[in-house]
Amino acid sequence: MNLHLFRKNRRGGQKPYTWPKPLWKKVLFFPLDACYFHVDLLRNAWEFLRWTCFTRPKCFYCNTKFNAGLKVKRNVPASRYTNLWLARLLCPCTKAPDPAQCATPFCLQEKRKPLRVIPMTMATLLLWAGVSFAAASYPPARRLARMILPGQATQQLKRLMRPAIHNPLERARNMVFKKNYMEARIAYMNAVREDPSNSVVRAEFADTLLELRLWAQALNQLQATTLLNPTNELAVTKFVSLAMLTRHAERALPAAENLATARPDLAKAKLLLASSYSATEQLPKMRETLHSLNAHPGLTAEEALQAGNMAVNTLHDHDLARHFYARTVTLEKANLHAHIQLAKIDRLAGRRKAAQTALKQAAAIDQGHYEVLAEQAEHHLLEGTLNLALSTMKQAYHRNPNWAYAKARLAEMLILARRFDEAKRLADELTEKPMPRNEAMGHTVLAQIYLKKHLYPTAIREAEAAIQLDGNYYRQFSILAEARLAQGEHDASRAALDQALVLEPDHIEVRVVEAQLAYAQKDPAKGLARLNVIAAETNLPPAIVMKLASLAYAHRQYEPAREWFGRLHRADPGEAIATHGLVQANRMLGLDPARTRDLAEGLSQRFPESVDFALSFAKSLVEEEPITAALPKIEQIAAHFAFNPAAHFYLGKAYFLAERFPEARKELEETLEIAPRFSEFTEIKAMLERIP
C-alpha cells in the first residue's frame, strides 16, 4: 500500500515515498489505556502522525514541552524509512498516577525513569493514535490500520484488531466486566456525551469513577443522576455518603429532600435526610425527621439501629435512641449492638434492673465480646467494686487493644484507684493516635489526672486541647468547668458548664459541678438543693455519693453529709473514707458518741499509720469520761505521731482535763512550738492561762 507522506529531499523538492513492510520483531508495544486522551484533538491517525512529526507536543501529565519529533539514530544503517522507523521519546515526568498504566507515547516510564530509544513503525504510531478507540468512532482509521497491519500481528495487536464495538456504552460495560476501569471511564465519557439525559449511564459512570477513586468527578455524576432521577434510591444513597465523606454535605441535601418528598413511604429516604441534616448541623430538622422516622411502619432493623446511633451520637437524645434500639431488638432479637446500647442507656438513666436485663441478653449472644465486657465493667463500677471493674475492663481492652473507648475508660478507672502512672501511660498512647477522637480521649484522661492532682492550669490546658479536637463530649467541658472553678474563675466555669449541660443536661457529673459552682458563688442553699435533687435518684454510683457528702461537709451542712456518708458505710462497711466521714459528721452533730468512738477505733486499728484516723480516734478519746482511762491510748498516739502538733494538742488537752497541769503545759507549749499558728490557738491560750 502507498501512503503518501511528503518530505523535502536533498534537492529541496517534495516527493512521495512508499511505506515499507514493517519489521515486527523490532517493534515495541505498550498498553494503550491512556491513548484516548488524544481523540478529541486528533480525529484520525493521519492528524496524529502529522502532529507528532512536525510539532513539539506537551506531556499529557506534566505539561512540559520536549522534542518528540522522529529522529535518525546514527548507528543504524540509513534507509528511506529509518527516520520514521525509530523515535526517541524522552520525558522526565513523574506525575503519572500509575506507571504501569501510563501508555501515552510521551510519558512512557518504568520505575519513574524515562525509557530510552523506542523503535516504532508507522503501524505503532497509528495504534498509539488510538486505533482501538477510533474503531468505535472513526471507521476509516480502522480500515487504514487493517491495510497497514498484516495477519502476522502479535497477540496484543490481535486483541486491538477485534471487531469494533460501535456502541460506547456497550464497550464501557465490557471494560467494566474486564475490570479495565481506565478504558471504561473513557467509553462512559463518550456514552454520556451521546446521551446526557440518561441517568442510568451516569450512575454506571459514577461507579467506575468510584473504582478509580476520582471522588470529585464521581460526585458530579451522582449529582447529575439525582437531578435526572430524584427517586433513584441507590444513587441518592451513594451521593449523600460520598458528599459527607468529601465534606460537601450541602450539595447532597437537596437530593435527600427530593427523595424524601417523592417517596414518603421509604424509610431509607428519611434516614438519608436525617444524615444530611446532621452533616449540615441542622439539628432541629434532624430531630424532627428522626421523630417522624420513629413512627414509620416500614423501618427495618438495620435502619432503626442507624437512627438510634444518630440520636445518641449527634442529638444526645437517649430517650429517642432507646425507642430505636428497642425496635431493633424487636425486629432482630440477636442484634448484639442494640442490646449493648440499651444496657448503656438504661444504666445512665438509673434503670439498673432494665440495664442488667439488656446486658444479660447481650452476654447470651456473645459473652466474650469486648463491648459486653466493657459494659459489665461499668456495672461493676456502679456497684462499687472498683477492682472487679478494673479487671473486667482490662479484659475488654485486651480483646480489642485498638478500641479507644476501652483504653480511655480503663485509664479513668485507674485514676479512681489513684494509679496515675498507669493511667497516664494509656492517655499518652491515645494522644499518639493520628485520629482526632482518640487524641481527644487521651487529653481528657490527662485532664482528669491533673485535676485529681490539683494541677489546675495543666488540667485546663489538656481539657481545652480535647475540646479543640472533639467538642461533642460533655466530660471535657465538665472537667474544664471544675478546674476553672478551682482557680476561682467563676464566669469561665459557668460558660464551660453551660456547654456541658447542652450536651448532657441530665448527667450526674455535670449536675455535681453545677452544685459546686453554686457553693463557690456563696449560695449554699442552692448548692444543697442541687445535691438533694441528685441524691434523690436511685442507684447512684458510690463515687458520686462520696462527692455529694464531701461537698456538704466542706460547707458545714453536716446533716445531709452524715446521711450520705452513712449510706456509703452501710453499702460497704470496709470503705475507710466513708466511715471516717461518718465519724466526723457524727462528732460535729454530737450524735451517737459511743458508736462514733467504735468506728474511729476500728479505723485506727485497720490503718495504724494513718494520721487522720489516729487523730480522729484521739479526739473521740478526749471527749470520753473518765479521761484517765483514755490517757494511755492518747499517749500512745502522741508518741507514734510526735511530729504532728494535733497529737500533742489532744494529749495536752487530756492532761488538762485530768488535772495533770505540768504535763499539760509541756504538751500545749510543744504544740505552739511546732505550729505557732495552730488552728486551736485560742483554746490553747485559754488553757495555758487557767493552768496554775
Residue identified by cell 445535691 is: 531
CB 692 within 8 A of CB 665: no
For residue 57, give the 3-state DSSP assignment: coil
CB 49 within 8 A of CB 125: yes
List pLDDT tens digits, range 171-230: 899 989 989 998 899 889 989 988 899 999 999 999 999 999 999 999 999 999 999 999
Quick: pLDDT tens for 335-347. Answer: 999 999 999 998 8
* DSSP percent split of the chain into helix, strand, coil, nearest 5: 65, 0, 30
Query: What is the DSSP secondary-structure string of 500-528?
Result: HHHH-TT-HHHHHHHHHHHHHTT-HHHHH
Q: Is the pLDDT of residue 576 over 80?
A: yes
Lowest mean pLDDT among 81-85, 119-123, 341-345, 529-533: 81-85
Given a cut of 50, is residue 631 above it in pLDDT? Answer: yes
- pLDDT (tens digit, 9 = 90+) per residue, 423-452? 999 888 888 876 777 788 888 988 988 988
Task: Quote the distance between the C-alpha of residue 134 and its chain's center.
Answer: 50
Kindly state the helix (H) or strand (E) to which residue 221 belongs, with its residue range.
helix 215-228
Q: Which of 50-54, 271-275, 392-396 has the lowest mean pLDDT?
A: 50-54
User: Is the sign of the CA dihedral 185, 51, 149, 139 positive or negative?
Assistant: positive
pLDDT digits (tens, 9 = 90+) for 303-340: 999 999 999 888 888 889 999 999 999 999 999 999 99
Q: Which residues pair with 58 in a beta bridge?
A: 65
8 A C-beta contact, residue 521 and residue 488: no
Are 573 and 386 spatial neighbours (Cβ–Cβ below 8 Å)?
no
How far is CA 135 from each of CA 39, 140, 142, 146, 154, rounded to the nearest angstrom? 11, 8, 5, 11, 18
Calculate the CA dihedral of residues 423, 429, 430, 432 and round it to 10 degrees: 150
**Which amino acid is it at 600?**
A
Q: Give 99-135 as a 3 state SS string.
A: CCCCCCCCCCEECCEECCCEECCHHHHHHHCCHHHHH
What's the pLDDT band for 31 if we cut at 50, 70, 90? very low
Residue 593, CA distances (Å) to 559, 646, 680 in order? 15, 21, 22
CA nearest neighbour of 580 among 614, 622, 534, 539: 614
Query: Is the CB of residue 151 less than 8 Å from the CB of residue 145?
Result: no
